[in-house]
Amino acid sequence: FGSSTQGKVMLECCAGICGGGRPRGPLPVLEPTVRKPVVRFDGRDSCDTVEEITSNFGYRCAPPGSEPVALVSEDFCKNPTRLLALIPTGGASLGTWDAGPGVLAQVLAWAEANYYAVVLFSGRAMQENPANTWDSVTKASPSRYLTVLALRGAIPLLTAALSPVNPLLYSRLRTVCEIWEDDMGGPADYLDRGLPADLLQQLSTAVVSVPVTWASFEPYAMCQCLFGLLVDREEKFQKAQAKKYDNLTGMKENDLPGFKRLTMDQRVGRLDRDRRTDELSRVMKQNEQAMHDGLGYDDEPGVD
């Protein structure tokens, strides 16, 4: 290797790759940033009709081979990271998201600049058959982080779409913004109306109202504030995930491949343990309870 020091560093690196030791220091956390879109001077930024959205932004109708109930971006089926779902008010036609003059065009531009795949639902289709409309489109997206922007009064369409499905299918739902409300804060009252417990818990930490004062901003400035809020939410979520992973690697009673291996006798001796109260179960319950109680992503408890 040229020197004993270089050889030692190389061996330590190889040992880390093979899982021979725990990484030193805190786990790295990806820091999201807000990227501003490129200003277009060709005049092709209008999106008042379906034809303009498809020609100016490259969107297409979905699902393919049937009556369209949504418009999706070109990377909708390929983007594995972020998905932005736009839900208009009930009864709105396809291609409509009336948050104010020029707002939709800016939202689509900012979403593209920040690597979001986008789906714009038809309000009429969501009102007539919410569950089938939602599932027929979103099942084609591999994105693991879902954000919903719902116009005022449209969140009931979202809850109607998610109520019948398995909780695993909406576990990637992380942020739901209702536009426009008077303040930002806890879940709205209508979230308590007979929703499944799993869905209610998911929404209680995901729903955030956007200040109504943002509606008076120019569309560009409004989107800068909005996507700044989304980045802040995603950053907190990523830090929480890193903490959860760090908590798991710090467990003392379980077999952790790459960090700590139990002997065969230890594994056999733990086969009859109560999995409802063992160390792994306690860690998971602590993390879930912290998020549910609104303690904040930065205050999740670790392992005792």
Q: What are phi and psi of 210, to 5 degrees?
A: -90, 135
Q: 263 in a domain, yes or no?
A: no
Cα distance between residue 32 and residue 91, in whole Å: 35
Cα distance between residue 303 and residue 51, in whole Å: 55
Greatest alpha-carbon pair distance for the chain in Å reads: 72
- Nearest Cα to Cα of residue 232 among 244, 240, 243: 240
pLDDT surpassing 90 at residue 252: no
Q: Using 50, 70 and 90 to split pLDDT, how confident is the model at 30?
A: very low
pLDDT surpassing 50 at residue 182: no
Q: What is the C-alpha radius of gyration for the chain, rounded to an integer number of angstroms?
A: 23
Q: Structurally, how many domains does the chain consist of?
A: 1
Q: Using 50, 70 and 90 to split pLDDT, how confident is the model at 228?
A: very high
DSSP element (H, E) containing 8 = helix 4-17
When pLDDT is averaged across residues 36-44 and rounded to a whole number, the result is 76
Q: 265 in a domain, yes or no?
A: no
Domain around 76: 50-247
Distances in Å between the Cα of 187 and the Cα atoms of 84, 114, 155, 196 are: 20, 27, 11, 15
Q: 302 in a domain, yes or no?
A: no
Q: Which amino acid is at 139?
A: K
Cβ atoms of 134 and 126 within 8 Å: the answer is yes
Convert the pLDDT of each residue in 61-112 to its tens digit: 999 989 999 999 999 999 999 999 999 999 999 999 988 888 999 999 999 9
Q: 114 in a domain, yes or no?
A: yes
| pTM for this prediction | 0.74
Cα distance between residue 213 and residue 227, in whole Å: 16
**Residue 131: CA count within 13 A, CB half-sphere:** 7
Distances in Å between the Cα of 101 and the Cα atoms of 48, 153, 243 are: 10, 19, 42
Q: Which amino acid is at 287?
A: N
Q: 150 in a domain, yes or no?
A: yes
Neighbours of 223 (CB within 10 A): 26
Specify which of 43-47, 200-204, 252-256 reaches the highest per-range mean pLDDT. Answer: 200-204
Q: 256 in a domain, yes or no?
A: no
Question: Which residue is associated with the tokens 């998971």?
Answer: 284
Q: 122 in a domain, yes or no?
A: yes
